[in-house]
Amino acid sequence: MDKKMFCFQCEQTVGCTGCTGNAGVCGKKADTARLQDELTGALISLARAVDGAETISKSTWQVMIEGLFTTVTNVSFDDASIKNMIQKVRAERERLVPDCSKCLSPCGKTDEYDMQQLWNADEDIRSLKSLILFGIRGMAAYAYHASVLNYEDAEINRFFCEALFKIGYEESAETLLPTVLKVGEINLKCMALLDKANTETYGNPEITKVNIGVRNNPGILISGHDLRDLEMLLEQTQGTGVDVYTHSEMLPAHYYPAFKKYQNFVGNYGNAWWKQKDEFEAFHGPILMTTNCIVPPKDSYKDRLYTTGAAGYPGCQHIGDISAENGSASAVNKDFTVIIEHAKKCAPPAQIEEGEIIGGFAHAQVLALADQIVAAVKSGSIKKFVVMAGCDGRMKSREYYTEFAQKLPGDTVILTAGCAKYRYNKLALGDINGIPRVLDAGQCNDSYSLAVIALKLKEIFGLDDVNQLPIVYNIAWYEQKAVIVLLALLALGVKHIHLGPTLPAFLSPNVRNVLIEQFGIGGISTADEDIMKFLS
């Protein structure tokens, strides 16, 4: 493949075929894309080294997970940090298999994989391997957040190696397809692990009204997904006169009881990730990007954009860990003084909205309302639940989801998670017998809550199959975490999922047909046509 770069892992990829020029639609440069390929190739060789090692330390899994997370769309645009990650992977491999490169009888088993082999492979093999690769990249994001809270799982960690091994060294579609489905199966365990990490650390989310206005103090805007970063920031801003606001996927932090004690935790500012260029400019204060969803910043606020964790952007200051005693994730800490002092010199945020939005409908809270929900279903007050979880994006075609939500009949309830909710979570859709018609479970990883709710309703109604429930799935996708959520739903046996606004470019016609035949996966058309089809 004689291209400057090749990337087709997200929904916005050029022509729904692949970004191949000087830069991707996300803003990733060709050199950065090549470095991410090099990092992936190094991770595949590390997986082989793990396969032959006698003992595996915690640091091995942390390097593997962080390396995969670094390659997720909109996480890191910083070539220097990616190069550093590559060196960390190589150092870990050398530690596991010392002097392997000097062997007089090389077996080639720990050679770094050339990703051009994948991009140039038979289209069905490339498609299946891409599903596996993009799935474990999304899963690595969830494993990373759990690890920061010192929650890990040996089976999940080992599977990263198994999947990487298959990407590099398996060429049989008959073997790769079951691995695709296993990615979803293991991700269910990974999402359960992160759910446990978050709820045992910060409490079960509660129904909460979140302010979307502003106060007159200077502020810090925190975006991304990492709750530990938010916790440290809130602790360090106490008594400083600086307010903290959430943005995009950090909104659900307001639902956790542990964060409600912070008086300077003001509310949510703005909408989904793709609107950040305008919203970050209006905020006036510094912004902390904890994970993915970075959009290349305008010069007008680039000096106010900070990154941490796996996130990175050239020219923006990165806040690293200041301690990690004995490699323990629980000992990791960060010093946000530079951001706090920066905020003190800034004007308060400009108000762009006012009012409140309601959320906090994760599985524990919804199951507490189970009797009320079941009664509404049995009485006919609720006819259908519509799962509209997933990602938002900048394409005009995304307006479909707003129109779809507005036109749904009043006896339907939307179950949502992820930033796709910003297409409809501020609409006045009312309630059914006191149950809001939009139930926000939280971040994209909280799609796990939607699965738990579905399985519990199946049990309550005495059904044999989750597909017998009055639930339809109309999911928006953008990047790799949406891919892994889709695979998790397939692992649960959920069928007839509709995916939009387009089907992934990395699905070859044959692989797409397999998913259609086995699981009934489909695309979307117009809001009117789909409502008639889904609710008939």
Q: How confident is the model at residue 57 (pLDDT cuts 50, 70, 90)?
A: confident
pLDDT at 384: 97
Residue type at position 497: I
535: left (phi over 0), alpha (psi -120 to 50) or beta: alpha
Cβ within 8 Å of residue 410, ≥6 positions away: 430, 432, 437
Type and span of the H or E element at 94: helix 79-96
User: pLDDT-based confidence at 111, cuts 50/70/90?
Assistant: confident
Q: In whole angstroms, what is the distance from residue 536 CA to residue 534 CA?
A: 6
pLDDT for 478: 95
The span from the CA of 215 to the CA of 241, in Å, is: 11
Burial category of 34 from C-beta neighbours within 10 Å (exposed 0-12, middle 13-18, buried 19 and up): middle
Q: Which residues pair with 15 in a beta bridge?
A: none
Amino acid at 160: F
Q: Is the predicted pLDDT of residue 176 greater than 90, yes or no?
A: yes
pLDDT > 80? residue 169: yes
Measured CA to CA, the distance from residue 226 to residue 307 in angstroms comes to 12
Span 405-458, pLDDT tens digits: 999 999 999 999 999 999 999 999 999 999 999 999 999 999 999 999 999 999
Kindly indicate the confidence band of residue 292, based on its pLDDT and cuts at 50, 70 and 90: confident
| Mean pLDDT confidence for 196-225 | 98
Q: How many residues does the chain have?
A: 536
Tens digits of residue pLDDT in 485-525: 999 999 999 999 999 999 999 999 999 999 999 999 999 99
318-319 and 305-308 beta bridge pairing: parallel
Whether the pLDDT of residue 104 is over 60: the answer is no
Residue 324 in this model has a pLDDT that exceeds 60: no
> Which whole number is the average pLDDT over 49-53?
80
Gap between the Cα atoms of 406 and 100, Å rounded: 61
* Secondary structure class of 457 (helix, strand, coil): helix
**Which pLDDT belongs to residue 1?**
55
> Is 281 in contact with 221 (CB distance < 8 Å)?
no
Residue 344: in which H helix or E strand, if any?
Answer: helix 337-344
| Residue at token pair 């938010």 | 230
pLDDT band at 47 (very low <50, low <70, confident <90, very high): very high
Please report the pLDDT score of residue 323 as a whole number. 60
What pLDDT was estimated at residue 56?
A: 84
Continuous segment of H or E residues that includes residue 46: helix 30-52
What does the alpha-carbon distance between residue 287 and residue 103 come to, in Å, rounded to a whole number? 49
Q: Which residues contact 509 (CB under 8 A, 6 or more apart)?
A: none
Interaxial angle between packed helices 79-96 and 30-52, expressed in degrees from 0 to 180 and rounded to the nearest 10: 10
Which residues contact residue 13 at a Cβ distance below 8 angstroms, ignoring those fewer than 6 apart? 7, 19, 24, 25, 505
pLDDT digits (tens, 9 = 90+) for 346-388: 999 999 999 999 999 999 999 999 999 999 999 999 999 999 9
Angle subtended by helix axes 173-202 and 447-460, to nearest 10: 90
How many other CB atoms are there within 10 angstroms of residue 512's CB atom? 16
